Amino acid sequence: MAQVSDSEMIWHNDGHAIRLRINKSELEIIEVMCPSGNSGECWNDRIGCMVEYFIRRFGMDCNVGVCPAMENLQICWSVVGDTYDVDACQLWFVPLEDEAFNAWLATKS
C-alpha cells in the first residue's frame, strides 16, 4: 500500500460496505465487507483489510459523513499517515449516500 502524506487524502470507492442493524437505540455493525480480498489498496500484511480493522476497532467513530441508517451502507474510505504502522495512521469513511460527499465525488469522476 502506498504511503500518503498527511496533507493528501485519496478517497477509494472500491465496493467496501458495512452491514448494520438497529437494536433499540444502538446502531450495530454486523459485518464489514471487503471486495478486494488480500490484494486491494486496503490490504495490510499485518492486519488484513485496514477498512475492516479500523471499523471493527473504532466503529462509527471513523465515519465523517451523514446519511440515514440503512441495512447495507456502501462507503468510500481514506487513510492518512504511515500505512505500514497502523498505530501511526487514521482511516476515515464516508457513506456514498452522503449527499454533499456524493456531489463532490461526482465532480471528481
Q: What digits encode the pLDDT tens for the residues 62-94?
A: 999 999 888 999 999 999 998 889 899 999 999
Domain assignment of residue 49, given as a range:
17-108
* Residue 50 is assigned to a structural domain of this protein: yes
pLDDT at 33 over 60: yes
Round to whole Å and give the CA distance between 71 and 83: 29
DSSP H or E run through 99: helix 99-108
pLDDT confidence of residue 90: 95
- Is residue 51 a part of any domain in this protein? yes
Determine the pLDDT at residue 100: 94
Does residue 104 sit within a domain? yes
Please name the residues in contact with 93: beta carbons below 8 A apart, sequence gap of 6 or more.
16, 51, 55, 62, 63, 64, 65, 75, 76, 77, 78
Residue 29 lies in a domain: yes
Decide if 2 is inside a domain. no
Higher pLDDT among residues 90 and 2, named by residue: 90
Phi/psi region, residue 55 (left: phi>0; alpha: psi -120 to 50; beta: rest), is alpha
In a domain, 11, yes or no: no
Q: Provide the domain count of the chain.
A: 1
- For 32-56, the DSSP string reads EE-SSTTSSTTEETTTEEHHHHHHH
Task: Look at residue 48 and tell me if it is in a domain.
Answer: yes
Give CA separation, 91 vs 21, 34, 47, 55, in Å.
Answer: 22, 15, 14, 9
Vertex 44 angle, CA 40 and 46, to 5°: 150
- Does residue 1 fall inside a structural domain? no
Place of cell 456502501: 74
Q: Is 1's pLDDT higher than 60?
A: no
Q: What is the pLDDT of residue 6?
A: 45
pLDDT in the model for residue 5:
45
